[in-house]
Structure 1
Amino acid sequence: MRSLKSTERLKKKSYEQYKRHPRTIVDGNELLLFYGTTMSCCGSNIKQVFELCKDPTCRVCRLIQSGFNTSYNKKNGIQLNLDSGELSENKTVITKGKNVKRAVIVCRTIAGGVVTMDDIEHEEVYDSVGTGPYSKSEYLILQNPSAVLPCFIVALS
């Protein structure tokens, strides 16, 4: 429901800026993006997980529980990669502990109007910030947690 409201808001806003961002008028510039994190609710004998765990160190469950609305994301934005390859190759484990695995959350996102880091001070209205020219960005930073809908979780070994 929150994603639908966000889509409608962006479509209305984008209608006014149609010439600059024609795709946002159709679907809010919906993209499939990837969020890298860790999870600790991945015991070796669990094949499927149907509910969120209670472990405060499990970042996957805490992110989904909060709807990506965390103090870190409020301050820095939600960094989502356009390619899952970089996340799966990254060997850095953010949290150390027993049964902690790297994970990728596959998310449907409404990127809306995207600007580059270079153009951020010149643009008045934007929804996301890219790392380079939009077609070559490695990741986008979204400010609105309502524009991120987690769909799948991939635990990496």
Structure 2
Amino acid sequence: MVKIKACKLPTRHPRCLADGNELLRFHGIAIACSLGLNGSSSLCTLEKCGVCQILRHGFSEKDLQGCVGIFTASTSGRAMECFELSQDNHSAARKALLVYRVIAGRVHKPLEKFQEMAGQPGFDSLAGKVGQYSNIEELLSDL
């Protein structure tokens, strides 16, 4: 889809044409079951287990600072910093780190006011924070 849209744009974006602008991204989430312990590979049905929910049903759109999408970070450390255990998760819940290849497409890099840039036409993703060397540290992508 990203590559098809990129072909039709008046300004060609080489990364979008080649691979859709594929990025390696990280996402911190709660895990409430025994998945991965002692070789366990069975997915649970617990609503509080974010890992199994994503593996079973995929991502769900979440509201993040007035924007709806999927939040990912460029580093594992940043993904874990952004992750907070919610009040509904019991204290025994563990943290997990999911690693993804994300097709970011054309990324809008606003200077400020993250919320105002959501849904801008012509972009597939929104950079929430851009690093010193133009690295996209935080990314909000549509489903």
Does the alignment reach a TM-score above 0.5?
Answer: yes
1:127 corresponding residue in structure 2? 124
Structure holding more helix per residue:
1
Q: TM-score, normalised by structure 2?
A: 0.76
Q: TM-score, normalised by structure 1?
A: 0.70
2:5 corresponding residue in structure 1? 13
Greater mean deviation of Cα atoms: 10-19 or 104-113: 10-19
**Structure 1 residues without counterparts, runs of 5 or longer:** 1-8, 145-157
Aligned length: 133
**C-alpha distance after superposition, 1:76-120 (max 9, x if no partner):** 200111111123456842353253101111111110110023493
Counterparts in 2 of 1:58 and 1:20: CA distance versus 1, 3 Å: same
Cα distance, 1:58 vs structure 2: 0.6
Give 1:1-157 correspondences, 5 Å limit: 9-17=1-9, 19-42=11-34, 46-68=37-59, 70=60, 72=62, 76-89=68-81, 92-94=84-86, 95-97=88-90, 99-118=92-111, 120=117, 124-133=121-130, 135-144=134-143
Q: Distance in 1 between matches of 2:69 and 2:58?
A: 13
Instruction: Give the letter for the 1:53 counterpart.
Output: C
Counterparts in 2 of 1:71 and 1:11: CA distance versus 1, 3 Å: closer
- Work out the percentage of aligned pairs sharing the same amino acid: 30
CA-based RMSD: 2.9
> Any conservation in 1 of the 2:107–2:125 contact (CA below 8 Å)?
yes
Cα distance, 1:127 vs structure 2: 0.5
Q: Distance in 2 between matches of 1:103 and 1:84?
A: 10
**Structure 2 residues without counterparts, runs of 5 or longer:** none
Cα distance, 1:65 vs structure 2: 1.4
Instruction: Give the letter for the 1:113 counterpart.
Output: R
Task: Specify the SS of the correspondent of 2:5.
Answer: helix
Structure holding more strand per residue:
2
Task: Specify the SS of the correspondent of 1:78.
Answer: strand
Counterparts in 2 of 1:137 and 1:121: CA distance versus 1, 3 Å: same
Q: Distance in 2 between matches of 1:56 and 1:28?
A: 33
